[in-house]
Chains A and B, each alone.
Chain A
């Protein structure tokens, strides 16, 4: 299976929604604690199991997350640790990039997510406790969502409702927002420890998953959010990212500080359906291709990016 070695520590990996062989990787020097960052755009070879770099962009601080535009096949949004949000055009040479640098967050930006339905806006979440809504054509954010009481690690658009998103915070709550409302529309005290990630089910717009420092993933139904509809246990340390499958309703992937990438079916009793221990350091980035069913990618602090087909061993040559 294809593997790519990055010079810095991996932080996030995302498949392009336009090209089935393309993916972007966010990396940060010295484990993201101090140093520079680099954004890689990689391409899977159609003939051999190799990943080759198309272009890379350097930043003055670590890149914690990356999001592909849903409206322009060459645009990337980077969440940078210096508080800036940068927009890159992969069709332009590195010298002409970034095409935008948006400086409003006052602390590290930890996630970026592009609106998949309206396709003209994106969200960023930050350690400054806020989530910001941006449009590509404006130099400032459209509005700021400031209700969380601690770092917001993740914000994700609902796949069907173009005005609705969720956010996951270190204040141990999940919040559901509607961009037309002043405050959050729902507060779910989802875990007893920090929540590091959240994602919506792609086939049921009322289901979402939360991943926490308490090592668990919980599945919630916003129609009755008092108790989770499923609790997925199996990771040995904090769960860093969670991602619902774009192809199968009940499937989701997660990665963790226990260095593993896990696959889950939240509707069955033995919900852990796959476990990959290919990373030798914290696994902090995972994604599932929307264009190729079963194609997975992960990255971690071992400076490696793996791409593999579900059911295969990521390390298989």
Chain B
């Protein structure tokens, strides 16, 4: 809400609607007759007004419990671990692992068990390949597995990145963490929106994404997380349907993630000549991820902004 905002201009009325000119009227209706007065007064006099109510997530859960629907409801992509939302959902279509399909799309594919789905890992971000069990919410909690979500193929849960994990605290300056969390949240939003805007609404995207995820999952076994994302992006280009839609999608996801693909190479030795422990070492992960880059164009400046005036 801006301060000193101009008042709305004086009210005027549009031309009468065709339905009003026709004078059409239906028979008896189940509706109560309209009340006189303006909307605010009508609602306030009915005792139902609740100005400015903000509905929290817990309220929504309560709503679900009050709901008398007899069918399973999908979980929201942004409230789950990665393992059971976007990737998991697509994975379920592959029948790759029933655990994968448990979350959001289990109810659609029929392959998911629901066991690993919503609730249990809510809040965690771990788990491509169904490894939400290990990467994210359940064992490491909170943001414990943002990298775990990608790092399955690299051999471990990556829970060490949880700032609250006593077995290996973050070794990077806070700037990196802030960047990391912003990137992570961005990914959640991106895949949340893809899920809602595209996947759930059309099977067309399902076919396309299934193929990509198959590629990504297989690649993650070999090369680890960020390569798998890279493969997803490559897939977005490879499976380009129109020549513009998915190519552009790939470019902006790549740009937003700020992830650079590195050459596949053996880990360089540590200071004592031994290989670095890889997943348990922050620096090892940093080899594969860069923080978000400065926005290259004006249109990206406010992507993450909260400026209500925009």
Contact A71 to B12, CB < 8 A, known contacts A36-B299, A281-B242 = yes
Is B17's beta carbon under 8 Å from chain A?
Answer: yes
Which residues on B sit within 8 Å (CB–CB) of A226? none
| A33-B193, A116-B17, A189-B69 known; A206 vs B54 contact (CB < 8 Å) | no
A171 cross-chain contacts in B, Cβ below 8 A: 67, 69, 73
Most buried by A among B42, B55, B198: B55
Is B11 an interface residue, CB under 8 A from the partner?
yes
Segment at the A interface, from B58-66, B90-98, B162-170, B272-280: B58-66
- In the complex, chain A residues 1-55 whose Cβ is within 8 Å of any chain B Cβ: 17-18, 29-36
List residues of chain A with CB within 8 A of the CB of B49.
142-143
In the complex, which residue of chain B has the Cβ closest to the Cβ of A86? B308
B55 and A133 contact, CB distance less than 8 A: no
* A204-236 interface with B by 8 A CB criterion: 204-206, 213, 222-223
Interface centre among B5, B196, B197 (most CB of A within 10 A): B197
**Cβ of B34 under 8 Å from chain A:** yes
The reply to whether B66 and A161 form a contact with Cβ atoms under 8 Å apart is no
Tell me the count of chain B residues lying within 8 A, CB to CB, of chain A: 85
Closest A residue to B251 by beta carbon equals A30
Contact B204 A163 (CB under 8 A): no
A55-94 residues at the B interface, CB under 8 angstroms: 58-60, 70-75, 81-82, 84, 87, 89, 91-92
The closest CB in chain B to the CB of A36 belongs to B299
Closest residue of chain B to A186 (Cβ to Cβ) is B30
The main secondary structure of chain B at its interface with chain A is loop
**Is residue B303 contacting chain A, with contact meaning CB distance below 8 A?**
yes
The 8 Å CB contact of B8, one of A33, A127, A137, A237, is A137
Task: Tell me if A151 and B196 are in contact (CB < 8 A).
Answer: yes
Q: Which single residue of chain A is at the shortest CB-CB distance from B15?
A: A291
Known: A60-B307, A141-B53, A246-B18. A161 touches B34 (CB 8 A): yes
Instruction: Report yes or no: B69 in contact with A173, Cβ–Cβ below 8 A.
Output: yes
Interface of A is mostly: loop
User: Is A181 within 8 A of B46, CB to CB?
Assistant: yes
B74: chain A residues at CB < 8 Å are 150, 170
Minimum distance in angstroms from A210 CB to a CB of chain B: 15
Closest chain B residue to A70 by CB distance?
B14
**What string of 1s and 0s marks CB contacts (under 8 Å) between B15-35 and chain A?**
101110010101011111011
Bound: A240/B186 CA distance, A: 26
Chain B residues with CB below 8 A from A150, complex form: 73-74, 76
Q: Do B2 and A101 have beta carbons less than 8 Å apart?
A: yes
Cβ < 8 Å to A, chain B residues 269-310: 299-300, 302-303, 305-310
Structural contact, A180 and B32, CB atoms closer than 8 A: yes
B222 contacts the other chain (Cβ, under 8 Å)? no
Q: What interface size band does chain A fall in?
A: 35 or more
Are B309 and A101 touching (Cβ within 8 A)?
Answer: yes
State whether the Cβ of A139 lies closer than 8 Å to any Cβ in chain B.
yes
> Smallest CB-CB separation from B60: which chain A residue?
A129
Q: Are A223 and B30 in contact (CB under 8 A)?
A: yes
Query: Which of B44, B55, B201 is in CB contact (< 8 Å) with A129?
Result: B55
The reply to whether B63 and A205 contact each other, CB–CB distance below 8 Å, is: no
A121 at the interface (CB under 8 A from B): yes
Asked if residues B190 and A118 are in contact (CB atoms below 8 Å), the reply is no
Question: Is B52 at the interface (CB under 8 A from chain A)?
Answer: yes
**7 cross-chain pairs, A with B, having the tightest CB-CB distances, nearest first:** A140-B52, A60-B310, A180-B46, A121-B39, A17-B14, A257-B202, A101-B308
Q: Which A residues form the contact surface with B (CB < 8 A)?
A: 17-18, 29-36, 58-60, 70-75, 81-82, 84, 87, 89, 91-92, 96, 98-104, 106-108, 115-121, 127-130, 133, 135-144, 146-151, 158-164, 170-173, 178-182, 185-187, 189, 192, 194, 196, 202-206, 213, 222-223, 237-238, 240, 246-247, 249, 257, 280-282, 290-291, 293, 301
- 15 A-B contacts, Cβ less than 8 Å apart? A31-B245, A31-B249, A36-B310, A84-B308, A99-B2, A100-B5, A106-B54, A120-B38, A151-B196, A158-B31, A162-B34, A162-B35, A164-B31, A257-B202, A280-B242
